[in-house]
Amino acid sequence: MDKKVKDLNPFAKAKTLKERERVWKSLKSIARPVSKEEGERLLEEAIRLQLGNNK
């Protein structure tokens, strides 16, 4: 019953430059453009989550 959990920080396990480049290319391939409003909303959410984790 081992469930594969999606790694939230794929760069953490990438030790070499080649591995980091592979992770970066993988992330770029699934990226999609967002509107300015959506980008601002996502940024605010990321800041809120970061502040919540620091408490």
CB–CB of 10/23 below 8 Å? Answer: yes
pTM of the predicted structure, to 2 decimals: 0.49
Measure the CA–CA gap between 23 and 10, rounded to whole angstroms. Answer: 7
Instruction: Give pLDDT, residue 3.
Output: 53
pLDDT tens digits for range 1-55: 445 566 678 888 888 999 999 989 988 998 889 899 999 999 999 999 988 877 6
pLDDT on residue 39: 93
Structure tokens at 36: 């300015």
The reported pLDDT for the residue numbered 1 is: 43
Question: What local confidence, expressed as pLDDT, does residue 18 receive?
Answer: 94
Which pLDDT score is estimated for 4?
57
Per-domain boundaries in the chain: 16-53
